A = this chain, B = another copy of it.
Amino acid sequence: MTAYGKKTWLIPDTYLNSVSKNGNISHEAICVINTSDVDADIRFTFFFEDRDARTDFSSFCPAMRTHHIRMDRLRNADGEPIPRDVPYAVLVESNTPIVVQYSRLDTSAPEMALMTTIAYPVED
């Protein structure tokens, strides 16, 4: 199948809320679709407001699959999670074209709030 999308995407507004007040845990997902014949190796760079950028987190999306990457479950090689309750931003880089959508579910109040947007694609 045609490899749709781009290899580089940016998401300026990411934030992992540590508070959940209903059965659905507050979380973010970086959702990837890979229509190419090649498995996607996905490297993240996290940008912060008050500290240096980090490049120690990565993920993947197999060929002809989707992966809704749960950022609250992601761990680096040392088993560390992404910091909670801290504004950050994400650069997504892949070896093969992908399409990226960012969604957030917040249950810090008992009811659910949702937001989503297609990420910003960089032209090759």
- New contact pairs (16) apart from A66-B87, A120-B121, CB-CB < 8 Å: A4-B122, A12-B68, A12-B99, A12-B101, A12-B118, A13-B103, A24-B108, A33-B91, A47-B64, A47-B65, A52-B64, A112-B113, A113-B113, A113-B114, A114-B114, A118-B120
By a CB distance below 8 angstroms, the chain B residues around A118 are 12, 117-120
Whether B91 contacts A4 by the Cβ 8 Å rule is: yes
Question: Given A4-B10, A48-B65, A89-B66, do A115 and B112 touch, yes or no (CB 8 Å)?
Answer: no
Q: How far is A101 from B104 in the complex, measured between Cα atoms in Å?
A: 14
Cα–Cα distance between A104 and B103 once the two chains are bound (Å): 11
Let me know if A25 is at the binding interface, CB within 8 A.
no
Contact of A66 among B29, B67, B88, B115 (CB under 8 A): B88
